[in-house]
Chains A and B, each alone.
Chain A
């Protein structure tokens, strides 16, 4: 894999897995209606981590109900169903309430695609510094490597997340911006503290 940090681009000629192909199928429909960035575990898997996942998490930029209805219709026609609700209004209301909704292949529940609107400012920033992974003719937008490491390590924090962060850190070790990780770490810790007081 070649990572060009300036161009924010990763080039790879890896063999695509069945999961990669499923993600590409989903994203081809999604990106017609909404700007997206893939976050969390699948990013580590795409970049070589040897594990599987039950879900692929994505942020999508806020879209209108009208646009979402079109997306929902095309996902249904494309062989996906929403595992949270059937009525499009209800599905959209979950998103508007800051909740995530999940789509899977019809007749299946996993793997599924968990989509949500970013809520916090730090989440909205994901759209400013994403990285494009070029897989031959295909491409996927993932959150920055620094964001992956910081969120896995300082926000999520399970063993699995620590291992995901370590994989990215070691795989791209000469090209990681540690100042950016520190900046994100401070924001994440502050947000955690504030959210704890609010709850």
Chain B
């Protein structure tokens, strides 16, 4: 089982529309980045980035 290190619990404020929801998420995530280790937030961020950009592109 992965040991997920959480330095600080933070919560996302729900938005009243799509724009507000997105902006609230950006604020939530920026706070997450500020309060968690680089390894922790980048591990999560890389799930998104590496799913779109395959490692094989580096070997061309």
Contacts and interface: CB of A to CB of B under 8 A. Distances in A.
A93 interface: no
B23 interface: yes
Interface residues of B, number: 28
A163 interface: yes
Contacts, number: 88
B49 interface: yes
Contacts of B29: 48-50, 167
Interface residues of A, number: 34
A166 B45 contact: no
Interface in A148-178: 159, 162-163, 166-167, 169-171, 173
Interface of B: 19, 22-23, 26-27, 29-31, 33-34, 38-39, 41-46, 48-50, 52-55, 57-58, 60
Interface of A: 1, 12-19, 21-22, 25, 45, 47-52, 79, 105-108, 111, 159, 162-163, 166-167, 169-171, 173
